Structure 1
Amino acid sequence: MDANKVVCKEFCMQMFHQIQDDEKFLDSVIFVDESTFHVSGKVSTHNCKICGSENPLVCLEHVRDSPKVNVFCTLSKEIMYSPFFFLETTITGIIYLDMLQEFLIPQLDEDDQEGRLHFQQDGAPPHYLGEVSKYLNTRFPGRWIGRAAPIAWPPRSPDLTPLDIFLWGFVKDRVFVPPLPANVVELRTRITASVAEVTPEMLRSVWQETDYRWDVCRITNGSHIEP
């Protein structure tokens, strides 16, 4: 078994025991992530799966180095939070930390009166800044999942998070329906509208899928799961 599979299995085993001890554990997890959207419709499928609703034989011409936006999304089993659009084209650890402190955490504070939420982020470089880890250790002591976190997130595991399993594909499938956005303003408008289409029923279904995938990963010794 390669090293990445070992880490994935260990994580899913840990989650299995957490859920065995507290059946509401997965319900308490808040998942976050960023994604890049290009006006031209250029899409990276590395971390998301897209099920197209249009004719798969239609070819779209993409513009090289077209304008883009970096968007941050947060979802829980019950809530799809409004997206955050970074003004910067490159996200650093400091920019990411400022967003957490000024935008996301104040919203989570309102929904976490009992201090039960668990915060998940992947191992992207901005997430790994020392100041980010210190802040999350203060805000979610022992209750956050990520790189060098109290609960270690396995690297290269987009098949285990609701954003990569569902959200980014769902949004991009709607945003990039021809005619493509004319500019960044229209692109942001489409993204916001698409995120607003996510219903509580969808989220509950995605949480069931996430639970299933974690369990399959555990049983299959850390293997990745295709859609």
Structure 2
Amino acid sequence: MRFWANEQPHCFTVWCAMSSHGVIGPYVFKDTVDSQRNLSLLKNKFVPALRKRTENMQDVWFMQDGATAHTSNIVLDYLHETFGDKVTSRRYPEVKDCGQSWPAHSPDLNPCDYFLWGYLKSAVYRPKPADTDMLLKNINWEVKKISEEMCGNVTNNFVVRVKQGKLIKGRHIEKVIHY
């Protein structure tokens, strides 16, 4: 998001990953995330945390959106070393000749987009944080409250969404599915 202001706003980026095993993160950056910061996060925080939660990394699919910091060559090289052909990302199939392309304009298929960010936003702002420190505490607290069972339900919904997306020929699912 971009904000125009007369003075420097307090900005930060929150990064989380979600699987049927739970949420990994949040990781907070006091600045924007470039490809080097993203690579460092993947290598030093995310993948070690993921290895602790899963018995077999060969069964893990990694899915990410098409943000530039996520799709640089150095990041895609690392994803290929770590996940092989089990990556869904913009540019990945073209660069690595394997994996799945991120479907264009499809936040309907990413559990972080169709569940996590909206859920966290409503929970984090419910107590009206007075400052940035309280906001970050709320984010950490609310992420910790998300159960593995809840994550399993959300990720199981991914399969339903993919089938629905195929039936409606790629149109936005939220416009078709009424909750």
TM-score where L is the length of structure 2? 0.84
Aligned twin of 1:206: 154
Q: 1:174 and 2:123 equivalent?
A: yes
Quote the offset at 1:106 in angstroms.
1.2
Q: How does 1:41-60 map to 2 (within 5 A)?
A: none
For the 8 Å contact 1:181–1:187, the answer to whether it is kept is yes
Q: Distance in 2 between matches of 1:126 and 1:199?
A: 29
Amino acid at match of 2:100: I
CA drift of 1:217 comes to: 0.4
Query: For the residues of structure 2 that align with 1:90 and 1:74, how far apart are their CA atoms?
Result: 17
Change (3 A) 1:199 1:111: closer
CA contact (8 A) 2:65 2:89 kept: yes
Task: Kindly report which structure 2 residues correspond to 1:6-21, keeping only aligned pairs within 5 A, or say none.
Answer: none
1:190 equivalent in alignment to 2:138: yes
User: RMSD value over aligned CA atoms?
Assistant: 2.3
Select 1:132's aligned residue among 68, 75, 97: 75
Identity %: 30
Higher relative contact order (CA 8 A, sep 6+): 1
Aligned to 1:96: 38
Which SS does the other structure have where 2:40 is aligned? helix
Cα deviation, 1:60-112, whole Å, max 9, x if unaligned, reads xxxx974232111011112222311113x211111111111111111122334
Gap runs ≥5 in structure 1: 1-35, 37-41, 43-63
Give the AA of the match of 1:77: S
Counterparts in 2 of 1:24-173, with a 5 A limit?
66-87=9-30, 89-114=31-56, 115-149=58-92, 150-173=99-122
- Number of equivalenced pairs: 166
Structure 2: segments with no counterpart, 5+ residues: 93-98
Task: Quote the residue 1:216 is aligned against.
Answer: 164
Asked whether the 8 Å contact 1:68–1:184 carries over to 2, the reply is no
Secondary structure, in 3 states, of the residue corresponding to 1:126? Answer: helix
Instruction: Identify the residue that residue 29 of structure 1 maps to in structure 2.
Output: none
Conserved 8 A contact 1:69-1:184: no
Q: Which runs of 4+ in 1 moved over 4 A?
A: none
> Normalized against structure 1, the TM-score is what?
0.67
Give CA-to-partner distance per residue, 1:165-187, whole Å, 9 cap, x none. 11111111011125x32222211
